[in-house]
Amino acid sequence: MKETTKLLLIAAGFLVAYYIPWDHEVIRRSGLEAFLMLQDYARQHVLTCLIPAFFIAGAIAVFVSQASVLKYFGAQANKFLSYSVASVSGTVLAVCSCTVLPLFAGIYTRGAGIGPATAFLYSGPAINVLAIVLTAKVLGWQLGLARAVGAVIFAIVTGLLMAWLFRKDDANRTAGQIYLPEEDGKARSLWQEAVYMLTMVLILVFAAFARPAADDGSLWKAIFAAKWYITGALLIALAVMLKAWFVKEELTSWVEATWGFMKQIFPLLLVGVLAAGFLLGRPGHEALIPGHYIVDLVGGNSIWANLFASIAGALMYFATLTEVPILQGLIGSGMGRGPALALLLAGPALSLPNMLTIAGIMGVKKTLTYCAIVVVLSTIAGMAYGWLAG
């Protein structure tokens, strides 16, 4: 961090401490809501949800080759494979709307078709495995599932529309091929890596298994009663796999990658939760922004509410995972479920800095078209989900 940046942060902290009117009742209530929301996250989501998800993201980063993903985007690659890989690449790469840009620039300028390239551009930040898990845990599995399914479909539809609209331009520029280094051979078989990943996913599922409602069936209640026994057995199985299938250097790389994700994301999430709590409060508890403002803008499931949520999400920058506490506060203040999904689908994949950079890579016309497609699809998806959710 540059010394000038440090000085500005210190000055900003001083000014906030000096001028913020803590004697005002609304400000005091908002400050309390910020820390109560942070406490809820610490108690309900960090140990049982985020920590396992960080280890899964670290394992993906170390043991799943990015080269094996990116090689399918070349001009001569099979189209079905191109769009299939592009639409789920976010689960492998776990990047935000700005981090994905260098990867997009590399594959596009080296010969990737505009269809697979823009599908990858959308998918990279939209299907971040950490964000999908936290969305399902905090906002409900229905919204988490809708986000995951919608993002995959959006990536494919966006790529196909871009490829069709700019097919002539694409034919003139995709003469080159993407250069990627050869992949190193793997010591483990595919089934071993699949079992290893599945075991970690199951640890996450059972550790984060929520208490069932009173009217839920006996099966869910039995699973909840046995969740820690099942989690413990899975942890033992994971330990056996790590001892038998991995060498020390691989485990060190895995831990380092996990720690890297935690260092990158936890501070941003901390700030995001505090800001969301201060501005919007916990569900059912009002903070600085009155709930009726939220209801007026994005309440219900009208075209306007969904369109406003899509455009606002497209212009805002969300650091990884921060969209979840922000949505939690908005929903608690009266935001409709449809507009919430619209913002989730448009927000992480787009931002104003992201748009400006994309325009420098593939031109203003293609960038505006790409952004318009994402906003329109997000609005439609939000209306459909709001209608289904009732």
User: So where are the chain's domains?
Assistant: 29-177+247-389
**b or e along 297-309 (b: 16 or more beta carbons within 10 Å of the residue's beta carbon)?**
bbbbbeeebbbbb
Separation between Cα atoms, residue 11 and residue 16, nearest integer Å: 9
Contact call for residues 298 and 307 (beta carbons, < 8 A): no
Separation between Cα atoms, residue 67 and residue 61, nearest integer Å: 11
Contact call for residues 127 and 350 (beta carbons, < 8 A): no
Looking at residue 183, the DSSP 8-state letter turns out to be: P
The pair of three-digit structure tokens given for residue 12, joined into one six-digit string: 């900003």
Tens digit of each residue's pLDDT (9 = 90 or more) over 110-160: 667 788 888 888 887 777 777 788 888 888 888 888 988 888 899 899 989
Separation between Cα atoms, residue 271 and residue 264, nearest integer Å: 12
Question: Which residue carries 């929520």 as its tokens?
Answer: 210
Separation between Cα atoms, residue 267 and residue 149, nearest integer Å: 28
Residue 58, judged by CB atoms within 10 A of its CB (0-12, 13-18, 19+), counts as: buried
Q: What local confidence, expressed as pLDDT, does residue 389 receive? A: 77
Contact call for residues 40 and 192 (beta carbons, < 8 A): no
Q: What local confidence, expressed as pLDDT, does residue 179 receive? A: 47
With a cut of 70, list the residues of the chain below it in pLDDT: 1, 61, 64-77, 90-99, 102-103, 106-107, 109-111, 170-187, 210, 213-216, 265, 283-284, 317-320, 353, 390
DSSP string, 20-41: --TTSHHHHHHHHHHHHHHHHH
Amino acid at 25: E
Q: What local confidence, expressed as pLDDT, does residue 171 receive? A: 62
Separation between Cα atoms, residue 45 and residue 312, nearest integer Å: 27
Helix (H, G, I), strand (E, B) or coil at 247: coil
- Compute the CA torsion angle 143, 122, 297, 146 (nearest 10 deg): -10
Phi and psi at residue 23, to the nearest 5°: -80, -10
Q: What local confidence, expressed as pLDDT, does residue 236 receive? A: 94
Angle at the Cα of 58 from the Cα atoms of 94 and 144, rounded to 5 degrees: 45
Helix (H, G, I), strand (E, B) or coil at 194: helix
How many CA atoms does the CB half-sphere of 52 hold within 13 Å? 24
Helix (H, G, I), strand (E, B) or coil at 353: helix
Q: What local confidence, expressed as pLDDT, does residue 293 receive? A: 77
- Which distant-in-sequence residues (6+ apart) come within 8 Å of 76 by Cβ? 177
pTM, to two decimals: 0.65
Looking at residue 45, the DSSP 8-state letter turns out to be: I
